[in-house]
Amino acid sequence: MTRIGFYANTEGYGGSEVYLKSLIRGLKDKPYEIFLFCNQGFMVERILEQGQNITVVYFDKKPLNPHPAPATSAMDFKPSLKTIWWTLAPASVKLFFGFKRDSKRLSTIFKDYRLDILHANEVSPAPEAALCAAKAAGIQCVLGTFHALPKASEQFSWVYSLIKSLTFKNVDAAIFVSRASSEAWAKHTPIAKDKIHVVYNGIILDRYGPIPETEKQCYRDEFNIRPEDIVIGVAARLAKEKGHLDLVSAIGLIAPQLPNLRVLLMGEGDLTEPLKELIKSKNITGHFRFLGFRTDVDKINHILDLAVLPSTARESLPYALIEAMACSKPTVATRVGGVPEVVEEGITGLLVQAGNPKELAAAILAICQDNAKAKQMGERGRKKVEEYFTQERMLKETVDLYQKCLK
């Protein structure tokens, strides 16, 4: 049986974790013995399916630290030359030595499990050390899935360039979840063309079929939604880059025209209190509902009239839009990253410029005031998901890469 290890080094829950969950659960009936290498803070319970036989390996009590401090003895009364050097060393030097240290440690861990495949899931902290460690451990097939677009701050850093160069030299296949992501990485990083593969995120379509009207009503009652209300949903982490502040400004512009507009914010994050303060300052508190983290977004989507994702940057291929479209909902999103590969302008939804609340408000208003157009967009969105964004397709293309790599 092929032994495959998945590597993740995050503590939050977003698109990359949804991807990993979909991949691991989808492989449960395949001839693989599965290992999950993660840190103690990783949300394992949200990833694994109950009863699925997987070995979880915690590679550290804490997430890997890219800036490790040198060990010193409690008996040292004077700082050693090593300590002084480390204190004065620039962050780039610390980053590189942290990378080398973590690569060595992870290589030792991987060797103990005799893996045939190591598949790393890229987010921040990034998986470069794990990918290089896998090759050093003699693992035959090393892959990485790169979800995010490269950060601008990393594109001009010599140490990041060096680490990325070493990483892509060691991987057998680099999976990107959108064409936009693959093009952005290829532009700034030396990746061999034959290593680049675009595999779109996929979902289990059966989960997004119609739900009973009684169940919809339960959700409307829970969120205090009246029959005459127009409901907008935003499923995203409450973080600055997701554009919630622009959304609040946009709702402030159209609230007088749509007094029955209700906005469901599905997610949690550091922006919660600043958002509430901004909403209060604009006197539109009654239009918003903060739902926190939800595991039933697939069902909540069915009571929406419109799904919105106002991200300001670095969206590679957002699950939130795919999931809403699978429920036959029209979408409004910003024209960033791989979003236009999901939302077709004027076909499945509307695209607007990032950071432009006026344009966002106009797009929301246009769909909310044209029920026929909204219904048509929703139906076309469902068809697009059926064609491009299914878990079945994602699994097939990924497993094909595994097999090709092992040969």
SS (H, E, C) 219-259: HHHHCCCCCCCEEEEEECCCCHHHCHHHHHHHHHHHCCCCC
**69 compared with 273, residue with greater pLDDT:** 273
Tell me which amino acid residue 35 is.
F
Same domain for 229 and 162: no
**Separation between Cα atoms, residue 166 and residue 296, nearest integer Å:** 41
* pLDDT for 351: 98
Helices (H) and strands (E) in the chain, counts: 17, 13
Residue pointed to by tokens 């709702």: 251
Claim to verify: residue 181 and residue 246 sit in the same structural domain? no
Which H or E run contains 2?
Answer: strand 2-7
Within this chain, do residues 255 and 235 fall inside the same structural domain, yes or no? yes
In a shared domain, residues 333 and 382: yes
159-173, 302-316, 359-373: lowest mean pLDDT where? Answer: 159-173
H or E, element range at 101 = helix 91-111
Phi, psi of 328 (to 5 degrees): 65, 40
Instruction: Compute the average pLDDT of residues 65-84.
Output: 52
Residue 371 pLDDT greater than 50, yes or no: yes
The CATH code of the domain that includes 191 is 3.40.50.2000
Check residue 75 and give its pLDDT. Answer: 46
Three-class SS state of 122: strand
Average pLDDT over residues 265-272: 95
112 within domain boundaries: yes
Is 80 exceeded by the pLDDT of residue 199? Answer: yes
Alpha helices in 112-242 (DSSP H): 128-136, 152-155, 158-170, 179-188, 213-222
- Asked whether the beta carbons of 244 and 19 are under 8 A apart, the reply is no
- The answer, yes or no, to whether residue 317 has pLDDT greater than 70, is yes
Shared domain for 243 and 338, answered yes or no, is: yes
Q: Which two tokens stand for residue 34?
A: 């599965």
Handedness of CA 214, 217, 219, 222 (dihedral sign): negative
Question: Within a domain: residue 76?
Answer: no
- Say if CB 202 and CB 277 are below 8 A apart: no
Integer Cα distance of 173 and 400 in angstroms: 11
Q: Is residue 315 part of a domain?
A: yes
Same domain? 333 vs 397: no
From CA 17, how far away is CA 149, in angstroms rounded?
A: 16
Q: Which of 33, 43, 32, 34 is nearest to 8 (CA)?
A: 43
pLDDT tens figures, 130-166: 899 999 999 999 999 988 777 665 555 677 778 888 8
Residues in the chain: 407
Please indicate, yes or no, if residue 123 is contained in any of the structural domains: yes
Domain assignment of residue 260, given as a range: 205-388
User: Of all residues in the chain, what percent carry a pLDDT higher than 90?
Assistant: 64
Structural domain contains residue 77:
no
What pLDDT score does 68 carry?
A: 46
Asked whether residue 65 carries a pLDDT value surpassing 60, the answer given is no
44 shares a domain with 104: yes
pLDDT at site 81: 67
Helix (H) or strand (E) holding 332: strand 331-334
Q: How far is residue 174's CA from residue 144's CA, in Å, rounded to a whole number?
A: 5
With a CB cutoff of 8 Å and minimum separation 6, the contacts of 147 are 15, 16, 19, 121, 122, 123, 177, 181, 316, 317
On whether both 180 and 53 belong to a single domain, the answer is: yes
Task: Indicate the DSSP class of residue 194.
Answer: G
Does 115 lie in the same domain as 262? Answer: no
Q: Are strands 117-122 and 141-146 parallel, antiparallel or unpaired?
A: parallel
Q: Are residues 397 and 310 in the same domain?
A: no
14 with 116, same domain: the answer is yes
Task: For the chain, state the CA radius of gyration.
Answer: 23
Across the chain, mean pLDDT equals: 88
Is residue 81 in a domain? no
**204-213 LR contacts (CB < 8 Å, sep 24+):** 204/22, 204/390, 204/391, 205/326, 205/385, 205/386, 205/390, 205/391, 207/298, 208/298, 208/301, 208/323, 208/326, 208/327, 208/385, 210/302, 211/299, 211/302
Element (H or E) spanning 280, and its range?
Answer: helix 272-281
- The residue ranking higher by pLDDT, 94 or 103, is 103
| Phi (first) and psi of residue 7, to 5 degrees | -120, 130
Q: Would you say residue 42 has pLDDT above 90? A: no
User: In angstroms, rounded to a whole number, what is the distance separating the alpha carbons of residues 48 and 307?
Assistant: 28
Same domain, 366 and 254: yes
- Written as one letter, the residue type at 86 is W
Is residue 80 a part of any domain in this protein?
Answer: no
Q: What is the pLDDT of residue 69?
A: 45
Question: Domain count of the chain?
Answer: 2
What is residue 163's predicted lDDT score, i.e. its pLDDT? 81
Please give the average per-residue pLDDT across 164-184, as a whole number. Answer: 90
Confidence class of residue 125 from pLDDT cuts 50, 70 and 90?
A: low
What average pLDDT does range 348-361 have in this prediction? 98
Please tell me the predicted confidence (pLDDT) of residue 62: 43
| Distance separating alpha carbons of residues 27 and 151, to the nearest angstrom | 31
